[in-house]
């Protein structure tokens, strides 16, 4: 039998095979495969009743909940394309995504709606906004009968916005077949089966939570205990309770779990699998975790454009500080950044990947798409690294200018452009400084026009315009920014100055 061409096809197959099997647990509710299937079909019919045409975009701007997953599947059943939206985004970030993707319909919740309402007038293509709860339940009552079809593998499934080097984020176009192929590879590599129960506390608007956590669960016919958000105490309690078999987290979550464990007497029994990704897990955290939890975390490496790229082995050596080998059916290589020629083991260059998981390109951005493909379909990840003689990849830096804080990607240019737009700021350079908990934290170096401008004022302005995780944690005023002979700001020197002044204080 041919493998499923989409996640929704795999899900429907599992729902037909084992309708009564538990799929999701959420705040005391138990959702069976059949229950979620019915809800997804209701969403699909509702989207059609509200006028959604094949290929039109549906934004999901709401917190973790079964409805988010049902609406995701329902959009695919209705032939729509999902645009997941970070729930921390503020007006300008929202305006850009909704406008760029031409979002036609949005499902949101009471907490996020006011932020969307602030920009709605400037979004003529956004015809319908529905809020979960009473408004949604009322509108689902009038849903008509509609034909529902499974999507084709080549159809566009998701436009996932990823931070952009030029400030504005770009929409990565993932096809149904990309999602299905990667989920199949992940399930095979990690031996994910219908018997598994994943503790899922990651946000569902990013690759890690949605395309690894949710897709893997639905593909394997497994179940997930879904949380609204990560909270170390509740996660520790759930681990002690012992019914989950897997936990996936970003390194910040593991750092917090370790802190939680130090304050507890009881230890959870080892799980089948702990996975870390989205940012580098420090070898210290890996080792401390092994001491306390008696388990070696499996670290893997992925990104929005390609979902999962490499993984440490399920059986075999999980090597701290490395991200393992390519997933089954996929390939990776390290190339020289200038000549683009493959490099021998041990040498550092840019990591490239190829395979059925690699996205189609950026929405409406053929220029940007062309830049990231290196001929013959190899995708330039923008990550620097090397590969060992026995095939393990190590990420050692980034060719792209990027800060990763708590697993969220932040492009400094976006924040610099905003800061430079504030009155009193003549120049801004944003860098990431090392941070024990978040890996890196955002710090802004500012050249100001007047001494009256202060740190609190700038941070407050950013609070209004930016998602909280992008807001600079500190602002440092400088007489001038270090520049090279061509006038380009030397970010590494800014960073060195800030690190040195931190060490002095
Ligand atoms: C929240 N805050 C952060 C932050 N997350 N600040 C810096 N970095 C972060 N990552 C800020 C909030 O804005 C707020 O500040 C304050 O912290 C408290 O908010 P909170 O909601 O209580 O957040 P917190 O519990 O601290 O969140 C930490 C976290 C979260 C680790 C649980 O960041 C998280 O869920 N990260 C996961 C991100 C993720 O899924 N990445 C995957 C990308 S996919 P204020 O001042 O505004 O109130 C990818 C590909 C791959 O990378 O390989 O997986
Ligand atoms: P995003 O664009 O949000 O999907 O983030 C992808 C980026 O996260 C990658 O390009 C890497 O820089 C980083 N990343 C993901 N997993 C890891 C990991 N295990 N170690 C180091 N960096 C990682």
User: DSSP for 211-272?
Assistant: IIIIHHHHHHT-EEEE-SS--HHHHHHHHHH----EEEE-HHHHHHHHHHHHT-S--PPPPS
Query: Residue 302 Cα, ligand 2 centroid: separation in angstroms?
Result: 6
Position 6 scores a pLDDT of 98
402-504 architecture in CATH?
Answer: 2-Layer Sandwich (3.30)
- Position 120 pLDDT exceeds 70: yes
Is the CB of residue 352 below 6 angstroms from any atom belonging to ligand 2?
Answer: no
Superfamily of domain 7-178: ANL, N-terminal domain (3.40.50.12780)
pLDDT tens-place string over residues 223-236: 999 999 999 999 99
Contacts of 52 (CB under 8 A, 6+ apart): 58, 75, 78, 79, 80, 104, 105
CA 434, CA 308: separation in Å to the nearest integer?
25
pLDDT of 475 reads 95
Q: Is the model's pLDDT at 166 over the cut of 70?
A: no
pLDDT number for residue 485: 80
CA of 347 to the centre of ligand 1 (A): 33
Q: Which atom of ligand 1 is nearest to the CA of 203?
A: 40
Question: What pLDDT does 487 receive?
Answer: 81
Q: Kindly state the average pLDDT of the residues 47-60.
A: 96
State yes or no: pLDDT of 505 exceeds 80: no
Q: Ligand 1 within 6 A of 203 CB?
A: yes
Q: Using CA atoms of 35, 36, 41, 42 in order, give the dihedral in degrees to the nearest 10.
A: 70
The strands making up 223-226's β-sheet, listed across from edge to edge, are 29-32, 22-26, 223-226, 197-200, 246-249, 273-276, 298-303, 307-311, 325-326
379 pLDDT tier (thresholds 50, 70, 90): very high
pLDDT at 164: 62
- C-beta of 372 in contact with ligand 2 (< 6 A): no
Closest ligand 2 atom to residue 323 Cα is 19
Give pLDDT, residue 504: 75
Q: Please, which residues bridge with residue 278 across strands? A: none
Distance from chain centroid for Cα 262: 29
Ligand 2 atom nearest to 382, measured from its CA: 10
Q: How far is the CA of 382 from the centre of ligand 2 (A)?
A: 10
Report whether residue 251 contacts ligand 1, using a CB cutoff of 6 Å.
no
CA of 409 to the centre of ligand 1 (A): 10
Residue 432 pLDDT greater than 70, yes or no:
yes
Q: Which atom of ligand 1 is nearest to the CA of 442?
A: 7
- Percent share of the chain, pLDDT over 90: 88
Distance of CA 365 from the midpoint of ligand 1 (Å): 28
Give distance in angstroms: CA of 406 to centre of ligand 1: 5
Question: Among the atoms of ligand 1, which is closest to the Cα of residue 303?
Answer: 50
More confident residue, 491 or 130: 130
- Per-residue pLDDT tens over the stretch 304-356: 999 999 999 999 999 999 999 999 999 999 999 999 999 999 999 999 999 99
Average pLDDT estimate for 1-6 = 90
Query: Whose Cα sits closest to atom 22 in ligand 2?
Result: 279
Which of 315, 314, 323, 316 lies closest to 353, judged by CA? 323
pLDDT of 146 strictly over 90: no
Report whether pLDDT(466) > 80.
yes
pLDDT over threshold 90, residue 3:
no
Q: How far is CA 128 from CA 157, 161, 201, 323, in A?
A: 20, 21, 29, 42
* Smallest-distance ligand from the CA of 435: 1
For residues 446-452, give the mean pLDDT.
Answer: 92
Closest CA to 393 of 505, 464, 308: 308
The stretch 176-181 carries a mean pLDDT of 98
Q: Is any ligand 1 atom within 6 A of the Cβ of residue 250?
A: yes
Q: Environment class of residue 478 by beta-carbon count within 10 Å: exposed (0-12), middle (13-18) or buried (19+)?
A: middle
Range among 123-132, 143-152, 157-166, 478-487 rated most confident: 123-132
Q: Per-residue pLDDT averaged across 199-226, rounded?
A: 98
pLDDT of residue 162 exceeding 80, the answer is yes
pLDDT score at 147: 84
- Residue bearing the CA closest to ligand 2, atom 8: 278
Ligand 1 within 6 A of 438 CB? yes
Q: Give per-residue pLDDT as tens, 77-91.
A: 999 999 999 999 999
Report how far ligand 1's centroid is from the alpha carbon of 449 (Å). 33
Helix pair 412-420, 455-465: axis angle to 10 deg: 110
Compute CA 409 distance to the chain's CA centroid, rounded to the nearest angstrom. 8
Ligand 2 contacts CB of residue 93 (under 6 A): no
Mean pLDDT for 377-384 is: 95
Would you tell me how many other CB atoms lie within 10 Å of the CB of residue 220? 23
Residues 479-494 pLDDT 10s: 999 988 888 889 889 9
pLDDT-derived band at 2 (thresholds 50, 70, 90) equals confident
More confident residue, 461 or 40: 40
Tell how far the Cα of 113 is from the centroid of ligand 1, in angstroms.
20
Residues 6+ apart with CB under 8 A from 237: none
Q: Which residue, by CA, sits nearest to atom 3 of ligand 1?
A: 469
Measured torsion, CA atoms of residues 85, 89, 90, 91, in degrees rounded to the nearest 10 = -20
259-295 per-position pLDDT tens digit: 999 999 999 999 999 999 999 999 999 999 999 999 9
Residue 138: pLDDT over 70: yes
Distance of CA 133 to the CA centre of its chain: 26
pLDDT of residue 375: 77
Tell me the mean pLDDT in the region 365-380.
92
Nearest atom within ligand 2 for CA of residue 208: 4
Contact 350, 373 (CB under 8 A): no
Q: For helices 7-17 and 33-49, give the axis angle rounded to 10 degrees.
A: 130
Domain locations in the chain?
A: 7-178, 402-504
pLDDT range class, residue 167, cuts 50, 70, 90: low
- As given in the structure block, the two tokens for residue 171 are 């929409």
Beta strand 246-249 pairing with 223-226: unpaired
> How many residues are present in the chain?
505
**Stronger pLDDT, 119 or 374, i.e. the higher one:** 119
| Number of other CB atoms surrounding residue 384 within 10 Å | 18
Task: Report how far ligand 1's centroid is from the alpha carbon of 265 (Å).
Answer: 28
Q: Which DSSP letter does residue 431 get? A: E
**Contact status, residue 161 vs residue 89, Cβ threshold 8 Å:** no
């Amino acid at each position: 039998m041919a493998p499923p061409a989409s996640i929704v096809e795999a899900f429907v197959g599992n729902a037909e095979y084992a309708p009564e099997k538990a799929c999701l647990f959420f705040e005391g509710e138990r959702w069976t495969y059949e229950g979620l299937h019915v809800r997804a079909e209701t969403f699909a019919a509702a989207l059609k009743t509200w006028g959604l045409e094949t290929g039109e975009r549906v934004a999901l701007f709401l917190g973790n909940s079964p409805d988010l997953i049902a609406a995701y599947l329902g959009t695919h059943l209705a032939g729509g394309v999902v645009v997941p939206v970070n729930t921390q985004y503020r007006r300008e970030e929202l305006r850009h995504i909704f406008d760029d993707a031409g979002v036609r319909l949005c499902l949101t919740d009471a907490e996020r709606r006011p932020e969307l309402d602030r920009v709605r007038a400037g979004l003529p293509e956004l015809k319908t906004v529905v809020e979960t709860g009473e408004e949604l339940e009322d509108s689902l009552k009038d849903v008509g009968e509609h034909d529902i079809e499974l999507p084709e593998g080549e159809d566009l499934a998701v436009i996932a916005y990823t931070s952009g080097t030029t400030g504005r984020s770009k929409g990565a176009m993932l096809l149904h077949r990309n999602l299905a192929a990667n989920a199949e590879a992940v399930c095979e590599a990690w031996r994910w089966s219908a018997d598994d129960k994943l503790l899922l506390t990651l946000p569902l608007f990013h690759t890690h939570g949605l395309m690894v956590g949710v897709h893997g669960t639905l593909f394997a016919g497994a179940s997930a205990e879904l949380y609204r958000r990560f909270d170390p105490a509740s996660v520790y309690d759930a681990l002690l309770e012992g019914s989950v078999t897997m936990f996936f987290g970003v390194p910040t979550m593991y750092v917090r779990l370790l802190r939680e464990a130090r304050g507890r007497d009881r230890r959870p029994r080892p799980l089948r699998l702990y996975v870390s990704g989205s940012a580098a897990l420090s070898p210290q955290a890996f080792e401390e975790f092994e001491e306390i939890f008696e388990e070696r975390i499996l670290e893997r490496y992925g990104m929005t454009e390609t979902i999962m790229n490499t993984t440490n082995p399920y059986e075999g050596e999980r090597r701290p500080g490395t991200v393992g080998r390519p997933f089954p059916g996929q390939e990776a290589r390290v190339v020289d950044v200038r000549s683009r020629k493959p490099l021998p083991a041990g040498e550092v260059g840019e990591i490239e990947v190829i395979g059925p998981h690699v996205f189609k390109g950026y929405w409406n951005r053929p220029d940007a798409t062309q830049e990231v493909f290196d001929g013959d379909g190899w995708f330039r990840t923008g990550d620097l690294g090397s590969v060992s003689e026995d095939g393990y990849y190590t990420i050692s830096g980034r060719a792209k200018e990027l800060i990763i804080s708590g697993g969220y990607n932040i492009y400094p240019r976006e924040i610099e452009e905003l800061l430079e737009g504030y009155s009193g700021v003549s120049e801004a350079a944003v860098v990431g400084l090392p941070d024990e908990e978040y890996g890196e934290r955002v710090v802004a170096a500012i050249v100001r026009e007047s001494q009256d401008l202060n740190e609190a004022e700038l941070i407050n302005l950013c609070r209004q315009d930016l998602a909280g995780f992008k807001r600079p944690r500190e602002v440092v005023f400088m007489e001038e920014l270090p520049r090279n002979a061509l006038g380009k700001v030397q970010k590494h020197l800014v960073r060195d100055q800030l690190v040195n002044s931190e060490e002095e204080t």
